């Protein structure tokens, strides 16, 4: 897992074999890493992730969020 740099919103797709992921925190387009608890990173795709259509980082292509479990 590698966190996205704090001052950037990803503007390109992640490296081959990795996907862009963010946590469950609701964000707005101008959020940066750590603001209001928002965290984003790249990692190998796993079953704990679901594809997200929230609109964050549109230049980065498809991204995922951590699946909510109770």
What's the pLDDT tens digit per position in 8-32? 666 778 888 899 998 877 766 565 5
pLDDT confidence of residue 58: 80
pLDDT confidence of residue 2: 74
More confident residue, 25 or 40: 40
Coarse DSSP helix, strand, coil percentages of the chain, rounded to the nearest 5 percent: 10, 25, 65
Nearest to 22 by CA among 47, 39, 3: 39
Q: What integer best gives the mean pLDDT of the chain? A: 78
How many structural domains does the chain have? 1
**Are residues 52 and 63 in contact, defined by beta-carbon separation less than 8 angstroms?**
yes
pTM of the model: 0.74
Tokens of 37: 């608890």
Domain that holds residue 47: 2-66
């Amino acid at each position: 897992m590698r966190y996205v740099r704090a001052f950037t919103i990803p503007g390109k797709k992640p490296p081959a074999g990795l996907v862009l992921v963010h946590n469950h925190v609701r964000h707005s387009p101008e959020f940066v890493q750590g603001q209001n608890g928002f965290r984003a990173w790249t990692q190998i795709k796993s079953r704990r992730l679901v594809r997200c259509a929230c609109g964050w980082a549109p230049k980065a292509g498809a991204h995922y969020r951590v699946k909510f479990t109770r």
